[in-house]
Amino acid sequence: MATRRTAIDEAGRQGRRHLDEVLRDLRDARLAAGLSQREVARALRVSRQQVTRWERGASAKYLVQLARWGATVGLDVSVRAFAGGSPLRDAGQLRVLGKVRAAIGERWKWRTEVPVSSHPLERRAFDAVISAGGVHVGLEIITRLTDAQAQSRAALLKQEAAGLPILVLVLAESRRNRLALAAALPTLEPSFPTRPRAVLTSLRVGEQPAANGIFLV
């Protein structure tokens, strides 16, 4: 009986660990998409406070109980988060895309919501991929830079999976984003070394930037 109780308790702890990972993935995905808790709440038709509680693990007890129940009847219960479709796109992201097109001119062919790969289980997509003369550049739109490490990591994973040579993070122009970018530069510069002015100069003449970069628009 003691051994069975130990197994059930361990299943509960494992369930909590799985849920913590999923909640972290959901939060990172929200930040990478530039979405606020309020915007997610509006889409889900719940309060912002409810989304906050979920992200802090308020729903943990349900998975823990399911895991314990499974262990009691001889089943392992777990949950995982996998890349899905494109995240909720707000009007702010669409405005930024329009500003980018105006800023770099018409030298580029534009495709939006470009799948990372053709794999049937791969549902991630770039906000845009622009092409000119055999050059391809991925664009990821960030309306709010809230967690630079998580947001840039998600974008870089897509770049790696797609094999795109150049990735540009495009931030919405705001005082908040400028301050956040200045604070995050030590974290971002190794992966995005090309300065904003150099990125824009290259794109305006239809050339590939020297390396990944960031600019605000």
Tell me the pLDDT tens digit for each residue of 11-31: 777 777 777 888 888 887 787
CATH number for the domain spanning 143: value is 3.40.1350
pLDDT for position 90: 65
pLDDT for position 111: 93
pLDDT for position 85: 57
Cβ neighbours, 10 Å, residue 148: 21
Tell me the pLDDT tens digit for each residue of 40-70: 888 888 899 988 988 888 776 777 777 777 7
Give domain status of residue 106, yes or no.
yes
pLDDT for position 108: 95
pLDDT for position 84: 59
Indicate if 103 and 67 belong to the same structural domain. Answer: no
Give domain status of residue 78, yes or no.
no
pLDDT for position 86: 59
Mean local confidence (pLDDT), 196-208: 95
Tell me the pLDDT tens digit for each residue of 177-189: 999 999 999 999 9
Q: Return the higher-pLDDT residue of 121 and 118.
A: 118
Give domain status of residue 84, yes or no.
no
Domain holding 36, by residue range, is: 2-73
Q: Which of 32-36, 185-189, 204-208 has the lowest mean pLDDT?
A: 32-36
Indicate if 113 and 211 belong to the same structural domain. Answer: yes
- Split at pLDDT 50, 70, 90, the class of 141 is very high
Q: Return the higher-pLDDT residue of 215 and 86.
A: 215
Indicate if 61 and 158 belong to the same structural domain. Answer: no
Give domain status of residue 86, yes or no.
no
Judge whether 170 and 100 are in contact, CB under 8 Å: yes
What domain count does the chain have?
2
Q: At what angle do helices 48-55 and 37-44 cross, to 10 degrees?
A: 110
Share of the chain above pLDDT 70, in %: 92
Q: Note every long-range contact of 99-102, with CB atoms under 8 Å and residues 24 or more positions apart, other chains counting.
A: 99/173, 99/217, 100/128, 100/139, 100/141, 100/170, 100/217
CA distance 210 to 217: 20
Task: State the DSSP H helix or E strand holding residue 169, giving kind and residue range, or none if neither.
Answer: strand 166-171
pLDDT for position 4: 66
Burial string for 65-100 (b: 16+ CB within 10 Å, else e) reads ebbbebbeeeeebbeeeebeeebebbebbeebbebb
Mode of pairing for the β-strands spanning 166-171 and 213-216? parallel
Q: Return the higher-pLDDT residue of 191 and 119.
A: 191
